[in-house]
Structure 1
Amino acid sequence: MKNFRRALIPLAMFPFKNIVYAQKKDSIPHRVLAFVTDKFPQTRDFNLEYTVATPYKYTSSLQGINQPDNKVQSFQQVKANANIYFIKQKRWILNAALNYRYTSMNTENNSFFFPEENTKGDFHYHSEALSVTHISKLFNKIALYSATASIDGSEQHFERVRGMLTGALILKANAKTKMTLGVAIMIDPSTQVPALPIFTYEHHFNNGWVADVILPKKVMMRKDVFSNGRISLGTEMDNNSFYLYRTDRRYEFRQLEINSGVIYEHNLGSNLIGSLKTGLRVMPRARIFDKEESFKNYIFETTSKPSFYFNVGISYNPFRK
């Protein structure tokens, strides 16, 4: 599931961002072009973020046996992402997505996260994906078909090769409302769900607020403030994942994170955007499983208490115009 969530945003934005690149000479309404040149594009070309969370307690079980309660005393994470476009033709788009994530955790007591008697761990995760998208028409509406191949790993090894097929149909695109519907099919033995629906919805209200929905990724209400700022209120899903190495075995850690709170973004000019995020983070479940198995065949599981998080980021978007 994690690769699906990571690829969901670029896919959801294809109907508005990439179609403009590919079909500027076609009869695309001018109001759709205006949406794409928004000073806060949803897909950032180059993005860097730093996140810190307050301490939180968690319970765990190892191979079905309950473990003593533990506490994450500190949590820090750095993310770097790049979306690079190679081909932007009338009907075809070829792009690559590069992702790196560094996670540092310090717990009160040793757990399966860390070897031997350590209570601190530093984890590196990276993924690289190549996507090709074809733009056509279906039922007299613009349709997008995409195929993605990706590989991920740690600082020690490349680990998994995955694939994903997606299709999306633009149901509506006018001055106030944009709506798409699609499906994503994952080619990955470790995934929890082989196929998931995709739904995006944006609606501009008369009072200046905008509903911004990308399911299952996020539900937001946002509004432009000041001359170059934007505030967003709502909930978005994220994930934390990395690989662990114990003796001659390789394991994968996956954790779903639901972040609810406020986001402030500010256009700094010269295609730079700064952001601040804060709120409540809920982590309903995390598991560690053998890399050769799937998420449901886990050996270690945790349930965490909520915590507060703070995130600061900056992005550079030279390809948005």
Structure 2
Amino acid sequence: MNKPTLLIIAFLITAFAPVFGQEKENTEQPADSLQQKASQSIKEKFPRTRILNFEYDQSLSRDFNSELFDQEFQEGEIKAQRNFNASVNIPIYKTRKWGVTGSLNYQFSEFEFDNIETTDITVFEQDGTVNFHNFSAAISSTYFSTLFKKPVIYNASLIVDGNDEGLERLKGLAGLSFILKRTKRTTITLGAIVFIDPTSQIPFFPTFTYNHRFKNSKWEVDFILPQRLLFRRPVGKNGRFSIGSTFGSTGFYVNVDSPNFAEVFEYSQLEIKSGIIYEHRFSNYLIGTFQGGIQNFISNRLTEKGEPTGDFIYKNEQDATGYFQVGFSIDPFAGKKK
């Protein structure tokens, strides 16, 4: 599950939760349309859904060992892994019930290896620094309606991606999300996602969110299956502090120059980051984020392009390590939505 896919899922599973920077109870705010509430809440929870977002993260040194075709392969040290991500989301068309958004994403990934054993075959590990440049574009159509007398959001998305060598794949997804319960302190939603992608490990999965503000407390719990479990509270007038864990992925295309291999592979790295997050709203238009803690690597696989990830030819295991991430988001239209 790559980052553009996770970004689009965000449009489906977080549409109705309370919003950072508002008053304590949303019910005290002036009535607003379902679409405006959904858009505002999504942008508060997921920086990459804002108009402009820039992130830099770095994980620290850890040892790794790997297997190629189920045989022991290389081992060594990843001294550092650095990622830079820039995303743009442009509203293309909007009515009271329909919305169409175009998204562009650039990801730079850099691995710094050391003490790698020399072999006749090189996948992408080698002593020194290895860089990867990946791009993606998506168009997403969202429809706001009701189901069983409950507000519901439908979404269909088309994604194309590639790297600096050219375009690689076209994929899609469809889904829905609707409210099960909404009170002053509790919001519960349920939904589902279907992937139009033969490489997906799970072609279908349910989505579930639970947001609850504790009584007579500034703390709240924010649970989003499968993306996060956070405990949060406001800090001052313009800040928010969170502690917990988030699930994510880093993926990119790898071009292999060897007559015994296919030309293009996909590397997928699934990870859980646990620690703290601090967000600060500098203005209506600018939000900064810092997070850091421990990063655990769940699955790291290399698969031929277009093949299911279960048919991987290479995998590695990496020790847990520390990480930090900084980001800035800009939404030029935020002031008009107050």
> Do Structure 1 and Structure 2 share a fold, with TM-score over 0.5?
yes
Q: Report the secondary structure of 1:269's partner residue.
A: coil
From the superposition, tell whether residues 65 and 266 of structure 1 become closer, same or farther in structure 2 (CA, over 3 Å): same
Match of 2:296 among 274, 282, 286: 282
Match of residue 111 from structure 2: 105
Match of 1:172 among 181, 195, 198: 181
1:19-68 Cα distance to aligned partner (Å, 9 max, x none): xxxxxxxxx95698789767971243111111111101111101111124
Match of residue 93 from structure 1: 99
- Mapping of 1:1-321 within 5 angstroms? 1-2=1-2, 3-15=4-16, 29=31, 41-44=44-47, 45=50, 46-108=52-114, 109=116, 112-114=122-124, 118-205=127-214, 206-247=216-257, 249-320=263-334, 321=337
Q: Distance in 2 between matches of 1:113 and 1:179?
A: 45
From the superposition, tell whether residues 36 and 153 of structure 1 become closer, same or farther in structure 2 (CA, over 3 Å): closer
Q: Distance in 2 between matches of 1:258 and 1:273?
A: 24
1:200-250 Cα distance to aligned partner (Å, 9 max, x none): 221111211111111101111110012211100010011111111112611
Q: TM-score if structure 1 supplies the norm length? A: 0.89
Q: Distance in 2 between matches of 1:291 and 1:82?
A: 26
From the superposition, tell whether residues 36 and 87 of structure 1 become closer, same or farther in structure 2 (CA, over 3 Å): closer
Give the letter aligned to residue 5 of structure 2. Answer: F
- Alpha-carbon offset, residue 12 of structure 1: 2.2
From the superposition, tell whether residues 68 and 16 of structure 1 become closer, same or farther in structure 2 (CA, over 3 Å): closer
Give the letter aligned to residue 42 of structure 1. Answer: K
CA RMSD of aligned residues (A): 2.4
Q: TM-score if structure 2 supplies the norm length? A: 0.85
Give the letter aligned to residue 303 of structure 1. Answer: E
Q: Distance in 1 between matches of 2:164 and 2:191?
A: 35
- Alpha-carbon offset, residue 292 of structure 1: 3.2
- Alpha-carbon offset, residue 11 of structure 1: 2.2
Q: Report the secondary structure of 1:7's partner residue.
A: helix
From the superposition, tell whether residues 98 and 91 of structure 1 become closer, same or farther in structure 2 (CA, over 3 Å): same
Partners of 2:299 and 2:317 within 8 A in 1? yes
Q: Distance in 2 between matches of 1:240 and 1:274?
A: 22
Runs (5+) with no aligned partner, structure 1: 18-27
Q: Distance in 1 between matches of 2:46 and 2:104?
A: 13
Identical residues among aligned pairs (%): 30
From the superposition, tell whether residues 37 and 191 of structure 1 become closer, same or farther in structure 2 (CA, over 3 Å): closer
Runs (5+) with no aligned partner, structure 2: 19-29
Q: Distance in 1 between matches of 2:203 and 2:222?
A: 26
From the superposition, tell whether residues 283 and 184 of structure 1 become closer, same or farther in structure 2 (CA, over 3 Å): same
Q: Distance in 1 between matches of 2:10 and 2:37?
A: 19
Give the letter aligned to residue 178 of structure 2. Answer: L
> Which shows bigger deviation, 32-41 or 119-128?
32-41
Q: Report the secondary structure of 1:283's partner residue.
A: strand
